[in-house]
Amino acid sequence: MLRLGLVGGLLVAGVLAVVTACTTAPDRRELAGEYLNLGNAYFDLGEDADLERAAELYARAIALDPTLARATYNLARAYVELGHFDQGIEKLNELLAEDEDNTYLLSTRAYAYERSERREQAIADYERVLEINEYDADAWFNLGLLYWRDDNPAKATEPVVTAHDIEPDASSALLLARIKRKLEETEDAIAYLEEAMELGVAERDEFDAHALAGRLYRDAEQYGQARTHYEDALELDPDAADVRFELATVLLRDIEEQEEGTAELRRALDDGFAEEDELTRLVSSLGGELRELIEALLQDEGWEIDAEGTVRESEDAPEEEAPDEEVPENDVGDNDPDGKDPDRG
């Protein structure tokens, strides 16, 4: 989720319960404000039906007072969260026509472009924000995040470092740890990861942070710390088969932990781990009786191993019955752990 501030609603003392006809301009403006505030209350509930209701209320506020820019902005936000991206961008364009250098509006439009997978337009808006205000840490962060999502860690580095220098926080430190690991700069990655942990990662990021820490410490051959973080990650998500496999690879390195490592490997396979390259790499790293034990385990689980040690799923393995397809709920937010929602007026 792109980082543009916290979402917060503006509530009135009394919820609008009865709406009466208003004829004077002051009365219309006052009623428009009531609709705006009630719309904010629905928006904060966050479900699709609530967002639809919020959009209706914002539209009523605008009809009563077309000059109420906050209602237009919040209507744009509701459209974006509902996935009506073009409508949201249209409303933001209306506001930008009156205030083309408003960095908040530009950042929100960039968020809408990103949500609708129009990255080039999003990048252009963030670059425009930074032309206006080079100290906008959120714009630097989000620009780097877009490059990261485009699998360009080298280009992502400078914007995220700049954001972190301006406003150090756990989300930028965690993203830098990911970037540095991708660039194979393990020492720097560990330093940023430890900083993120010290600053306090968001609850939604805890699993990813511990899993990343396990991988980084495994890369650095600090297996005791790797094990601790893998186990912390699995406490948060016991069904994470990839993390359980990585824990198994760490345990199998220690002769005193090989029985536990074998058990963790079997569970990872039972939970669906099926990366042939990783399994081949594991088998190739082992020798003697332990290799024979792991090969036997894999064969028992339906895998074939050729003379070179390449692991492949057996053609004779029974096919798993496909689960009933579930229709996903409409996502009203981007749950990327590295960003934050835009704010509303």
> What's the rounded mean pLDDT across residues 316-330?
47
> What's the rounded mean pLDDT across residues 258-269?
96
pLDDT value, residue 317: 52
Between 197 and 25, the more confident residue is 197
pLDDT value, residue 14: 34
pLDDT value, residue 329: 37
Instruction: List all residues 6 or more positions away from 86 whose beta carbon is below 8 Å from its beta carbon.
Output: 116
Nearest in space to 105 (alpha carbons), one of 64, 72, 154, 62: 72
CA–CA gap between residue 228 and residue 218 (Å, rounded):
11
Q: What is the DSSP letter of 93?
A: H
With 70 as the cut, is the pLDDT of residue 222 above it?
A: yes
Q: What phi, psi does 311 have (nearest 5°)?
A: -100, 130
Q: Are the C-beta atoms of 175 and 338 separated by less than 8 Å? A: yes
Binned at pLDDT 50, 70 and 90, residue 339 comes out as: very low
> What's the rounded mean pLDDT across residues 146-158?
96
CA–CA gap between residue 182 and residue 226 (Å, rounded):
18
pLDDT value, residue 335: 33
> What's the rounded mean pLDDT across residues 266-295?
94
CA–CA gap between residue 161 and residue 17 (Å, rounded):
49
pLDDT value, residue 309: 85
With 80 as the cut, is the pLDDT of residue 337 above it?
A: no
With 60 as the cut, is the pLDDT of residue 210 above it?
A: yes
Q: Give per-residue pLDDT as tens, 40-73.
A: 999 999 898 999 999 999 999 999 999 999 999 9
Percent pLDDT > 70 in the chain is 84
pLDDT value, residue 204: 92
pLDDT value, residue 7: 37
Give the pTM.
Answer: 0.78
Q: Give per-residue pLDDT as tens, 113-145.
A: 999 999 999 999 999 999 999 999 999 999 999
pLDDT value, residue 313: 87
Instruction: List all residues 6 or more positions away from 40 whose beta carbon is below 8 Å from its beta carbon.
Output: 9, 10, 11, 54, 74, 344
pLDDT value, residue 131: 97
> What's the rounded mean pLDDT across residues 305-330?
63
Q: Are the C-beta atoms of 230 and 208 separated by less than 8 Å? A: no
Nearest in space to 342 (alpha carbons), one of 14, 1, 5, 24: 5
Element (H, E) at 218: helix 206-219
Domains and CATH numbers, the chain: 18-98 (1.25.40.10), 274-314 (no CATH)
pLDDT value, residue 255: 85
pLDDT value, residue 2: 66
Between 340 and 121, the more confident residue is 121
With 70 as the cut, is the pLDDT of residue 344 above it?
A: no
Average pLDDT, the chain: 86
Q: Give per-residue pLDDT as tens, 74-120.
A: 999 999 999 999 999 999 999 999 999 999 999 999 999 999 999 99
Nearest in space to 254 (alpha carbons), one of 226, 223, 282: 223
pLDDT value, residue 232: 97
Can you list the pairs that 194-203 forms with residues at least 24 positions away whose Cβ atoms lie under 8 Å? 195/168, 195/170, 196/170, 196/171, 197/170, 199/168, 199/169, 199/170, 199/173, 200/170, 201/170, 201/171, 201/174, 202/170, 202/171, 202/337
Q: Give per-residue pLDDT as tens, 284-303.
A: 999 899 999 999 999 999 99
Binned at pLDDT 50, 70 and 90, residue 17 comes out as: very low
Q: What is the DSSP letter of 238?
A: T
